[in-house]
């Protein structure tokens, strides 16, 4: 029996050493408090640790939360006797004690904590086999409107319990576009940007999704998974403009007053109002529930309606959708009394008018809303002064305010006027208005001219408009300053063009004949003018205008010499700049009012490009034209009458020149400083620009560039950069110092294409600090070094010769002086 137990211990030890469980990589150790870890799901007899003690201990005792799961051998070998399940229990608290041969505890007990480590042995499971949710169209993308949830019994602190959600199916899937998205960590479902824009409950009221969940963070192929279905109902967008609101004006209720509401599809929106009129005061506000309030009483007579806008923003202040239009109508109340049109309303009525004749209309006003009960007015006469020959001579229509004769015709000898007090009332208010009715004489007299013929009137044709040329006079025997006696003058014959008019003096009834339009001797030298005098009021029956109401005069217009008149202020023409000399480019026309002949000439033809036919006014090119020199050529055309006073008129002639391709390309500037440092360490390049004097389109020039000589192609190349720039590059580095003139051929691609060959000088030179160092070359007239030395030696030789001659002369002169002195001493007499 002892042998069998010993053999079992050896087997367990072998298994223990194979599995490698323990603390800090050790399989055995002394008896002390320990925390050991072991993965769940291990096979029975799994070795955990072996405790070692010294004598007198001979065996070990295991107590605590063993749950018939752990066992310890006498030699201290701790092992499993059945598999562990972390989801059932994750921590075991055990105690181990060392015993002597008598079973007495000699060491311990010490606590041993067994931590059960998780393995991925549980699949995730959705909490519901089917989810249902709803979303409104135009909801904000990315904002969750529902959640799906799954659980996993594995340790959430490990990858085994980390869940990953995704949408695997969307039905219907229109145009292969996903309208929904899911947060792969939280299971929150929201709209994509396309879904927020395109969801429409009318087209597709519902959608079905299949959502899957995986553990291991969805990262491995060995993860467990589950799926569920999600049914989503699309609801109508509630972000809509409310119905127009009516607010009773001048409300006495406490303000602010709630009048309507707007609501974004999701909670949390921030609302604001704005208007486009930018009035000093804005009597509306909105709270963060979307309720809109009027903040003060409104006055319809001040403003009868308001239009403003409600805006919803997200938490970052960005608009969630388009603004909604809010319309508010201010409802009228009867808060304004009728008002009279004036302090006194005056009507006129002729005597002998028949009963029922309309005298006039009193039009009172009411500031309340038109065509409502608040603004309907009633009229009633409450007093007539004087009551001669009786009261009630007049009546007024109740709602129209039209006054009529009620009982008899009026006579001016009874009284010249009547004063009426009229009550004007609306539903709640009454106003008294004053009406004065003047009785006027009937129009039974016609106007009569003092004389019927005003003779001949001669005036020049250049008489100014507005000039009074004649005064006429008629009289009327009706009552003065009434429509019956007022005289209006009208020209009935002789002035069909309306050149003349007659203005009446309201005080004297005199008629002033004035010039209304320019007179013209050439078209109407003599006119027989007939006037008619008449009243604005109609004549009574039986009375008619006769010859006494007509007068005449003869208008004689004298000629005034006038300058020629051009048919246009500015004449314009357009030709190509390459027209041949002598080509007709335009023409001008002028007429002389007196019919005289006209001669044309040019003024300001500074370039001498044009000539004009003096008789016909045709204009021809007189020299080659050049658009690049002047694109619009402007000259003056002078028309001079032949004979008479030789009066002249001037007009402008503008000749626009259209471009032809007549200028070859050229370099945009002088390139005199182009250089490359010698010797070249690599291929060098230089950039140059071309231009063209011809007109260019908005795209600009489109030049092509090439070398002007094929022999240079082994050393150089030209590459186009754009339409105006190119790069000249070397193909190798083997160049000698010196100046190279490189011919460049530039083509403008025009119609016809023009080509120019330019020379681009490139210097290869030694460079100092990035600049070309070139010794000064010998200039004509400057001596060489040898010549300079020769000139210097010659100069020194000449100076030496001159000095020698001077020295010799000085010696010679000194000898002569000595001889002369000796001779003088010989002939000089002795003095005593």
Q: Among 340, 538, 363, 356, which Cα is nearest to 440's?
A: 538
First and final CA of the chain: distance in angstroms? 191
Which position has the higher pLDDT, 701 or 545? 545
Residue 213 pLDDT:
92
Rounded to an integer, the average pLDDT of 3-32 is 48
Residue 405 pLDDT:
93
SS3 484: coil
Residue 789 pLDDT:
63
Give per-residue pLDDT as tens, 238-258.
Answer: 888 999 999 998 988 999 999
Give per-residue pLDDT as tens, 533-543.
Answer: 999 888 888 88
Which helix (H) or strand (E) is 799 found in, with range?
helix 785-827
Rounded to an integer, the average pLDDT of 554-559 is 90
pLDDT above 90 covers what percent of the chain? 50
Q: Among 553, 537, 551, which Cα is nearest to 474's?
A: 551
Give per-residue pLDDT as tens, 567-623.
Answer: 999 999 999 888 999 999 999 999 988 788 899 999 999 999 999 999 999 999 999
- The strand pair at 598-603 and 565-566 is best described as unpaired
Give per-residue pLDDT as tens, 783-815.
Answer: 555 566 677 888 888 888 888 777 777 765 554
d(CA 312, CA 260): 15
Q: Is the pLDDT of residue 780 over 70?
A: no
Q: Is the pLDDT of residue 300 over 60?
A: yes
Residues 6+ apart with CB under 8 A from 584: 618, 619, 620
Residue 595 pLDDT:
81
- The strand pair at 284-286 and 324-331 is best described as unpaired
Residue 783 pLDDT:
54
Confirm if 491 and 500 have CB atoms less than 8 A apart.
yes
Is this structure's pTM higher than 0.85?
no
Residues 6+ apart with CB under 8 A from 27: 16, 17, 20, 21, 47, 49, 50
Q: How confident is the model at residue 15 (pLDDT cuts 50, 70, 90)?
A: very low
d(CA 663, CA 753): 10
Strand partners, 327: 307
How many other CB atoms sit within 10 Å of the CB of residue 203?
Answer: 11
Residues 6+ apart with CB under 8 A from 737: 678, 764, 765, 766
- The strand pair at 146-147 and 188-191 is best described as antiparallel
Residues 6+ apart with CB under 8 A from 453: 551, 552, 553
d(CA 474, CA 93): 138
Q: How confident is the model at residue 827 (pLDDT cuts 50, 70, 90)?
A: very low
* Main-chain dihedrals φ then ψ at residue 385, nearest 5 degrees: -135, 130
Residue 12 pLDDT:
38
Residue 6 pLDDT:
37
* Main-chain dihedrals φ then ψ at residue 756, nearest 5 degrees: -130, 145
Residue 287 pLDDT:
94
Give per-residue pLDDT as tens, 619-649.
Answer: 999 999 988 888 899 999 999 988 767 889 9
Longest dimension (CA), the chain: 191
Residues 6+ apart with CB under 8 A from 33: 110, 111, 112
Give per-residue pLDDT as tens, 664-679.
Answer: 888 988 888 888 888 8
Residue 564 buriedness (CB in 10 A; 0-12 / 13-18 / 19+): buried
Q: Is the pLDDT of residue 203 over 70?
A: yes
Residue 756 pLDDT:
86
Looking at every residue in the chain, the average pLDDT score rounds to: 86
Q: Is the pLDDT of residue 398 over 90?
A: yes
SS3 101: coil
Confirm if 688 and 737 have CB atoms less than 8 A apart.
no
- Locate 619 and state its tokens: 């204009």
How many other CB atoms sit within 10 Å of the CB of residue 751?
Answer: 8
Rounded to an integer, the average pLDDT of 749-759 is 84
DSSP 201-265: TTT--EEEEEEEEESGGG-STT--EEEEEEEEEEEPP---PPPPEEEETT--S-SSEEEEE---S
- Locate 680 and state its tokens: 């070249």
Which position has the higher pLDDT, 677 or 829? 677
- Locate 229 and state its tokens: 């279905």
- Label residues 221-238 b or e (16+ Cβ within 10 Å = b): eebbbbebbbebebeebe
Q: How confident is the model at residue 151 (pLDDT cuts 50, 70, 90)?
A: very high
Residue 128 pLDDT:
93
Give per-residue pLDDT as tens, 459-474.
Answer: 998 899 999 999 999 9
Q: ∠ CA(23), CA(26), CA(28), 5° rounding?
A: 100
- Locate 814 and state its tokens: 């000194």
Specify the range with the lowest mean pLDDT, choosing from 308-312, 325-329, 350-354. 350-354
Q: How confident is the model at residue 711 (pLDDT cuts 50, 70, 90)?
A: confident
- Locate 55 and state its tokens: 């004598």
Confirm if 303 and 330 have CB atoms less than 8 A apart.
yes
Half-sphere exposure of 411 (CA within 13 A, CB side): 5
Rounded to an integer, the average pLDDT of 671-689 is 87
CA distances from 809 to 212, 802, 803, 805, 812 (A): 134, 11, 10, 6, 5
Strand partners, 47: 79
Give per-residue pLDDT as tens, 47-91.
Answer: 889 998 888 999 999 999 998 889 999 989 999 988 898 888 989
SS3 3: helix
d(CA 313, CA 557): 80
d(CA 647, CA 650): 10
Q: Which long-range contacts (CB under 8 A, 24 or more apart) does 751-760 make?
A: 751/661, 752/661, 753/661, 754/661, 754/662, 754/663, 754/664, 754/665, 755/664, 755/665, 756/664, 756/665, 756/666, 757/708, 758/666, 758/667, 758/690, 760/667, 760/671, 760/674, 760/686, 760/688, 760/728
Q: Is the pLDDT of residue 699 over 60?
A: yes
Confirm if 239 and 324 have CB atoms less than 8 A apart.
yes
Rounded to an integer, the average pLDDT of 368-378 is 89
Residue 186 pLDDT:
93
């Amino acid at each position: 029996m002892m042998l069998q137990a010993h053999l079992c211990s050896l087997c367990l030890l072998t298994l223990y050493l194979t599995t490698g469980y323990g603390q800090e990589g050790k399989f055995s150790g002394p008896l002390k408090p320990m925390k050991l870890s072991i993965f769940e799901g291990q096979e029975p007899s799994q070795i955990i640790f072996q405790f070692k003690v010294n004598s007198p201990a001979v065996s070990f005792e295991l107590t605590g939360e063993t749950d018939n799961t752990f066992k310890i051998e006498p030699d201290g070998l701790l092992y499993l006797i059945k598999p562990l399940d972390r989801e059932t229990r994750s921590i075991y608290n055990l105690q181990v004690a060392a015993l002597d041969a008598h079973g007495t505890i000699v060491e311990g007990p010490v606590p041993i904590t067994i931590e059960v480590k998780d393995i991925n042995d549980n699949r995730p499971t959705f909490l519901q086999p089917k989810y249902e949710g709803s979303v409104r169209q135009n909801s904000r993308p990315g904002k969750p409107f529902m959640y799906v949830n799954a659980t996993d019994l594995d340790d959430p602190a490990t990858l085994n319990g980390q869940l990953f959600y995704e949408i695997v199916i969307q039905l219907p899937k229109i145009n292969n576009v996903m309208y929904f998205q899911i947060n792969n960590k939280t299971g929150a479902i929201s709209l994509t940007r396309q879904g927020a824009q395109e969801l429409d409950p009318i087209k597709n009221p519902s959608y079905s999704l299949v959502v899957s969940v995986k553990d291991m963070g969805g990262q491995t192929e060995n993860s467990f998974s589950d799926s569920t279905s999600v049914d989503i109902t699309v609801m109508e967008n509630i972000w809509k403009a409310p119905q127009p609101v009516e607010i009773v004006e001048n409300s006495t209720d406490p303000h602010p007053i709630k009048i309507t509401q707007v609501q974004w599809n999701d909670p949390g929106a921030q609302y604001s109002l704005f208007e486009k009129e930018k009035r000093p005061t804005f009597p509306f506000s909105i709270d963060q529930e979307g309720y809109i309030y009027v903040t003060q009483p409104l006055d319809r007579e001040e403003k009868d309606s308001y239009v403003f806008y409600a805006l919803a923003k997200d938490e970052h202040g960005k608009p969630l959708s388009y603004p909604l239009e809010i319309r508010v109508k201010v409802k009228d109340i009867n808060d304004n009394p009728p008002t009279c049109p004036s302090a006194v309303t005056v009507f006129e009525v002729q005597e002998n008018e028949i009963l029922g004749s309309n005298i006039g209309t009193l039009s009172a006003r009411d500031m309340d809303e038109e065509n409502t009960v608040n603004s309907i007015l009633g009229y009633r006469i409450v007093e007539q002064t004087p009551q001669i020959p009786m009261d009630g001579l007049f009546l007024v229509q109740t709602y129209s305010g039209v006054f009529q004769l009620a009982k008899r015709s009026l006579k001016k000898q009874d009284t010249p006027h009547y004063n009426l007090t009229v009550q004007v009332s609306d539903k709640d208010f009454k106003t008294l208005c004053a009406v004065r009715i003047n009785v006027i004489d009937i129009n039974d007299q016609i106007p009569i001219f003092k004389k019927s013929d005003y003779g001949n009137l001669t005036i020049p044709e250049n008489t100014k408009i507005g000039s009074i040329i004649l005064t006429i006079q008629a009289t009327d025997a009706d009552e003065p300053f009434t429509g019956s006696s007022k005289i209006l003058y009208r020209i009935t014959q002789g002035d069909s063009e309306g050149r003349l008019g007659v203005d009446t003096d309201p005080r004297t009834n005199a008629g002033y004949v004035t010039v209304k339009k320019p007179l013209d001797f050439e078209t109407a030298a003599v006119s027989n003018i007939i006037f008619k005098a008449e009243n604005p009021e109609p004549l009574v029956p039986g009375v008619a205008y006769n010859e006494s109401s007509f007068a005449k005069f003869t208008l004689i217009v004298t000629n005034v010499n006038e300058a020629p008149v051009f048919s246009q202020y500015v004449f314009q023409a357009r030709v190509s700049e390459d027209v041949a000399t002598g080509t007709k480019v335009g023409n001008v026309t002028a007429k002389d009012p007196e019919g005289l002949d006209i001669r044309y000439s040019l003024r300001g033809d500074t370039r001498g490009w044009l000539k004009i036919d003096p008789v016909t006014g045709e204009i021809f090119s007189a020299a080659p034209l050049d658009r690049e020199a002047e694109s619009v050529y402007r000259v003056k055309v002078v028309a001079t009458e032949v004979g008479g006073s030789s009066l002249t008129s001037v007009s402008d002639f503008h000749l626009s020149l259209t471009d032809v391709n007549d200028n070859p390309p050229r370099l945009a500037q002088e390139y005199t400083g182009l250089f490359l440092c010698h010797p070249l360490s690599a291929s060098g390049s230089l950039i140059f620009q071309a231009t063209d004097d011809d007109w260019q389109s908005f795209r600009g020039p489109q030049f092509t560039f090439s070398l002007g000589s094929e022999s240079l192609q082994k050393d150089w190349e030209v590459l186009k950069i754009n339409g105006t720039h190119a790069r000249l590059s070397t193909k190798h580095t083997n160049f000698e110092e010196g100046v190279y003139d490189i011919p460049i051929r530039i083509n403008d691609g025009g119609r016809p294409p023009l080509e120019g060959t330019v020379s681009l000088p490139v210097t290869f030179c030694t460079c100092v600090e990035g600049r070309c160092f070139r010794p000064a070359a010998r200039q004509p007239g400057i001596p060489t070094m040898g010549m300079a030395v020769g000139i210097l030696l010659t100069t020194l030789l000449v100076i030496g010769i001159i000095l020698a001659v001077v020295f010799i002369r000085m010696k010679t002169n000194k000898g002569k002086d000595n001889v002369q002195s000796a001779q003088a001493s010989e002939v000089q007499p002795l003095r005593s």
